[in-house]
Amino acid sequence: MGEPVHDAARALERQPAARALARGGYVANGLVHLLIGSLIVAVSFGGEQDADQTGAFRAVAEVPAGAVVLWAAAALLAALGLWHLAEGMLASRRRSGAAAWGLRLSEWGQAVVFLFFGGLAAAVALGARPQADETAQDASRGILSLPGGVFAIVLVGVGVAVAGVAFGVMGVRRSFENKMTLPDGAVGAVVAGLGTVGFFAKGVALASLGVVLVAAAARSRADEAGSLDAAIRMLLGLQFGPAIVITVGAGLIAYGVFTVLRARYARL
């Protein structure tokens, strides 16, 4: 990394306003997960809404002043993405060698996710009404038409599933606490408990999405690819599916509450 890049990252990190906006990004991300979890629970009872990020943003767009809320969410999510981008650039301060690159890639991966969802919120605020399943199917159709396209989608699906496993392990091991300063007593225990449940539930959701993508690639059926909503509806088809989906939805609600609280206790 060049010195100008490091200097820019350090300058961003020293700005109290940037830190405050990044904390606001955690709040926005938490509220989005609260809404996604609620949509998933509704789907388990027969709801037809899209139980994913696009469904959550479209739901916000329908309420009074929804566009204002979406613009605020877009700005805060983008701010959190830029914070993670800067943290990745400064990863060598905390790690060395391969460990530094591992941390850097983790921070940059999070930056891409938050910047993407910030852009998605802005697009919906401008009037777009994206359908995540249709987008995933169109992308899969295009990739499958290329040489080696099946393997590319399999790799994406495996990557998503591995990310899901990682989230689940983080929940079980409570490794998320390493990036937080939790208070002693009941409050800290509640926040940690919400994180454990929430990370595990998000892991199940992501692993299910990975399975959907791998299955679609293995059968060369782009119309079977999809977003989180497709993964949730796949879970509904299992034995005890509604109970599983309710549990995942409740877990994502817990993750949303945890992420809102993370805005207070995250080390930034």
Whether 36 and 151 map to the same domain: the answer is: no
Instruction: Please list, in sequence order, all residues whose beta carbon lies within 8 angstroms of the beta carbon of residue 131, skipping any fewer than 6 positions away.
Output: 50, 54
Q: Which of 91, 109, 129 is the last residue of a domain?
A: 129
Q: Summarize pLDDT for 153-183 with one digit per residue, the tens.
A: 888 889 989 999 999 999 999 999 988 999 8
Mean pLDDT computed over 43-51: 82
pLDDT above 70 (res 2): no
pLDDT band at 133 (very low <50, low <70, confident <90, very high): low
**Where in the sequence is the domain holding 233, given as residue range(s)?**
131-268
Whether 152 and 244 map to the same domain: the answer is: yes
Whether 99 and 160 map to the same domain: the answer is: no
Whether 159 and 120 map to the same domain: the answer is: no
What pLDDT is stored for residue 67 in this prediction? 93
pLDDT band at 194 (very low <50, low <70, confident <90, very high): very high
Q: Summarize pLDDT for 215-242 with one digit per residue, the tens.
A: 877 777 666 666 787 888 888 888 888 8
Whether 262 and 189 map to the same domain: the answer is: yes
Q: Which of 98, 129, 160 is the last residue of a domain?
A: 129
pLDDT above 90 coverage of the chain, percent: 44
Name 266's bridge partners.
180
pLDDT band at 105 (very low <50, low <70, confident <90, very high): confident
pLDDT above 90 (res 22): yes
Whether 48 and 146 map to the same domain: the answer is: no
Q: Which of 84, 105, 129 is the last residue of a domain?
A: 129
Whether pTM exceeds 0.85: yes
Whether 124 and 143 map to the same domain: the answer is: no
What pLDDT is stored for residue 203 in this prediction? 92
> Which residue matches tokens 């549990």?
247
The total domain count for the chain is 2
Q: Please say whether the dihedral angle defined by the alpha carbons of residues 193, 51, 230 and 137, taken in this order, is positive or negative.
A: negative
Whether 185 and 173 map to the same domain: the answer is: yes
Contact (CB, 8 A) for 104 and 120 = no
What pLDDT is stored for residue 261 in this prediction? 95
Name 189's bridge partners.
none
Whether 2 and 97 map to the same domain: the answer is: yes
137: phi then psi, degrees, rounded to nearest 5: -70, -40
Whether 246 and 196 map to the same domain: the answer is: yes
What pLDDT is stored for residue 150 in this prediction? 82
Whether 263 and 137 map to the same domain: the answer is: yes
> Which residue matches tokens 């789907």?
43
What pLDDT is stored for residue 81 in this prediction? 93
Whether 251 and 161 map to the same domain: the answer is: yes
What pLDDT is stored for residue 9 in this prediction? 76
